Structure 1
Amino acid sequence: MDDKKNIAIILAGGVGSRLGLDKPKQFLKVAGKTVLEHTVDVFQKHEKIDEIAIVMHGNYLDIAEQMVATNHWTKVKKILNGGSERYESSLSAIRAYEDMQKEIGNLQLIFHDSVRPLVSPKIITDVIEALNTYDAVDVAVPAVDTIITVNQEQHTIEDIPKRAKLNRGQTPQGFKYETIATAYEKAMQDKHFAVTDDCGIVLKYFPETPIYVVAGEERNAKLTYPEDIYLFDKLFQLKTTQLTESFNGSVLKDKVMVVFGGTSGIGADMVNLANQAGAHAYACSRRNHNVDIRDRSAVDKFLQDIYAKHKRIDYIVDSAAILNKEPLMHLDDATIDTIIGINYRGMVNISIAAYPYLQESKGCLLHFTSSSYTRGRSNYALYSSTKAAVVNFVQALAEEWEPEGIRVNCINPQRTKTPMRVQNFGIEPEGSLLQSETVAKEALKALEANITGEVIDIKLM
């Protein structure tokens, strides 16, 4: 049994001077939430994080307290007053946990910049796992640009270091409590102290401690300059995740699931796998039960019948879609209406009809997008645009319904062998496509995952 306690320290003491704004950059809104809210959410939802402390300027402590209540951040146990310098904020957290370390020991502090809201759960997991072997862990990505050192007076190049060893540091940075506390104790005795981050303090004042480096990600960027706001907004729109756990069908036992469009392809495989695992899974489509998702009354009636039988519905899935691989000008009005009706209006109808059942069960609504959502493609104008709409719809609805305890996500499978794809592309080389059962297993995992508003990537390994 692992008795280590992982404390996330969210460093939010910055005042945003480089942005030239009248409020700290962690309070800027991006993709519907403040940067700080996005950041804390990642740690709140991470299963290996036991507790969170937010460190910020004293003028904004009341705002943080309000955020904790509004967002139901149950893991946030401390809101600490930070200093004007980064090291003062880190030191504030170290001292705040001194008594807990004495009492229970085995504390691990995970320091993270509040203005890196796109940190992935994988990076956090990698840092925590590395602490099983090392006492200090950093996160970095290789430098892709040539780095030069410049003579500040003459504005000339002094040196061009070899790029092979150069990396750009990120956060989180993880430490065994005694390691970072000892390094800071020594640092505070140095009259010429000048270090920019916590790993730098360990490197300088506790040099016998190796600092392991975990691979970072380019999207784990830091909000620094005004133009970053627009970039971050786009990155959040395109943000995806991957599920790492193995498929465990036992969690589906006795769950009630409805799959619209579940009579072929991925939807049919989801129904079959769920029923094999002991769930009560039902498929419906225009061919099966005569449910046309363009007609909300038909959707309502089907869900009412299932609810009357089981007195609950835990999961509702929309796997229905139409793809016509043709130029827009080749499509007649009836075909256009059908594509938009099934791919978009049908999604809206299912979501509205699903709400009361999922509100009661605190369940999950799952839609499907496509890899073409990031950029429209020739001959896919309607399909790719409706799949882009799925992503925006899911992200918005997840935020609306999160206070109700409803999770809303979408699956983004790479090219998958389904009847719809064969109809449009014919026979393609073996091994170039995902199998629909593989996608179905990942989609079933997503139903139980403690995430919402996510685009879940499924790719060929």
Structure 2
Amino acid sequence: MNNCAIIVAGGSGTRMGAPLPKQYLEIGGKPILMHTLSKFLKFSPKIDLILVLPSPDMDLWKSLCLQHEFTVKHTVISGGKTRFQSVKNGLAALGEDHDLVAIHDGVRPFVSVEVIKNSFIEAQKSGSAIAVAPLKDSLRKLRVHGGSHFQDRQQFRLVQTPQTFQVKKIKRAFQIDELPIFTDDATVYEHQGWEVSLISGNPENIKITTPEDLDYAEYLLSKQ
């Protein structure tokens, strides 16, 4: 199969409170985004990588690649105002020869190669593969008029990326106008009436959004 990955990195880093958007902050001596791209290359040296960035960040990314001598082959395209629009731009850049696409958050550098591999295997079989993780904490649902009630955490999963799809189906799904319910790519796919298939993610596959996440990311790197 001709596999590809769309890495979406359009965050502004507001919650991080840093001078740079979070995807460009360093862990282990290089930007988070470079770790993420390298992980997909580790999965397959033949994979086509498409990086979606805000248009104003293009020169910054080019200079960072030169500074860090980053040579992982990838294509950079401009994103949109929302994640939905950025993913749609990434999908438009895919060629007719692409069969499967993994859509992944640029600030999730700790996805395991095994999860990436399993996502492509499942998407080839069923059309989609969404990485998820079980909840560790207890869960309560708030009532509209106050109070709350218990929810069985075994009935819920935390959604991660990659979210991997057959290209023809996910392109068709993204032809619709954006809706508020589209919180990720799986909800866009599901809106077509197609059921999503879940696969086990890995617990370390955190989305780095806060200073505490950055500290934990340095810890995870130290253990590799």
The answer to whether the superposition gives a TM-score over 0.5 is yes
The separation in 2 between residues aligned to 1:180 and 1:193, in whole angstroms, is 18
Matches for 1:375-394 after TM superposition, within 5 Å: none
Taking structure 1 as reference, are residues 193 and 237 closer, same or farther at Cα in structure 2, changes over 3 Å only?
same
- 1:210 maps to 195
Task: Report how far residue 36 of structure 1 moved.
Answer: 0.6
Q: Deviations over 1:90-127 (max 9, x none)?
A: 01111122xx22xx3x4211111111111111111111
Q: Does 1:31 align with 2:28?
A: yes
What letter matches 2:181 in structure 1? A
1:58 positional shift: 1.0
Match of 1:183 among 145, 167, 173: 173
User: Which one has the largest radius of gyration?
Assistant: 1
Match of 1:140 among 132, 138, 147: 132
Q: Distance in 1 between matches of 2:214 and 2:47?
A: 31
Does 2:152 correspond to 1:165?
no
Could you list the per-position Cα deviations for residues 256-287 of structure 1 after superposition, in whole angstroms to 9, with x for gaps in the alignment?
xxxxxxxxxxxxxxxxxxxxxxxxxxxxxxxx
Structure 1 unaligned segments of length 5 or more: list them.
Answer: 240-461
Instruction: In structure 2, give the amino acid aligned to 1:166.
Output: F
Return 5+ residue gaps in structure 2 as ranges: none
Moved over 6 A (4+): none
Question: Offset at 1:167?
Answer: 0.5
Three-state SS of the structure 2 residue aligned to 1:131 is helix
Secondary structure of the 2:124 match is: coil
Q: Where do residues 20-419 of structure 1 align in structure 2 (5 Å cutoff)?
A: 20-47=17-44, 50-68=47-65, 70-74=69-73, 76=74, 78-97=75-94, 100-101=95-96, 104=97, 106-151=98-143, 156-186=146-176, 188=177, 192-203=179-190, 205-207=191-193, 209-239=194-224
Against the structure 1 CA distance between its residues 168 and 92, is the aligned structure 2 distance closer, same or farther, given a 3 Å change threshold?
A: same
CA contact (8 A) 1:135 1:210 kept: no
Q: CA contact under 8 A between 1:134 and 1:212: conserved in structure 2?
A: yes
> Number of residues paired by the alignment?
222
Render the CA deviation track for 1:297-328: whole Å, top value 9, x for unaligned: xxxxxxxxxxxxxxxxxxxxxxxxxxxxxxxx
Residues in 2 aligned to 1:135 and 1:7: alpha-carbon distance in whole angstroms: 15
Taking the aligned partners of 2:181 and 2:10, their CA distance within structure 1 comes to: 18
Per-residue deviation at 1:150? 2.6
2:100–2:124 contact (8 Å) kept in structure 1: no
Contact 1:64–1:79 at 8 Å: present in 2 too?
no
- Root mean square deviation of aligned Cα: 1.9
Amino acid at match of 2:172: T
Amino acid at match of 2:111: V
Could you tell me whether the CA contact under 8 Å between 1:134 and 1:210 is conserved in 2?
Answer: no
Paired residue secondary structure (1:232): helix
Measured in 1, the distance between the counterparts of 2:106 and 2:174 equals 21
Distance 1:130 1:48, change over 3 A: farther
SS of residue matched to 1:128: helix
Which residue type is aligned with residue 181 of structure 1? K
Counterpart contact for 1:138–1:213, Cα < 8 Å: yes
3-state SS of the aligned residue for 1:148? strand
Deviation at 1:157, TM superposition (A): 3.6
Change (3 A) 1:8 1:22: same
1:71 alignment partner, SS class: coil
The alignment-based identity, stated in percent, is 26
CA distance in 2, matches of 1:135, 1:54: 23
Counterparts of 2:167 and 2:201 in 1: how far apart (Å)? 22
| Residues 159 and 95 (structure 1), Cα distance of their counterparts in 2 relative to 1, 3 Å cut | farther
Separation of aligned partners in 2, 1:129 and 1:225: 32
8 Å contact kept, 2:181–2:187: no
Question: For residues 39-63 of structure 1, what are the alpha-carbon distances to aligned partners after superposition, in whole Å with 9 as ceiling and x for unaligned?
Answer: 1111122227520000011111123
SS of residue matched to 2:110: coil
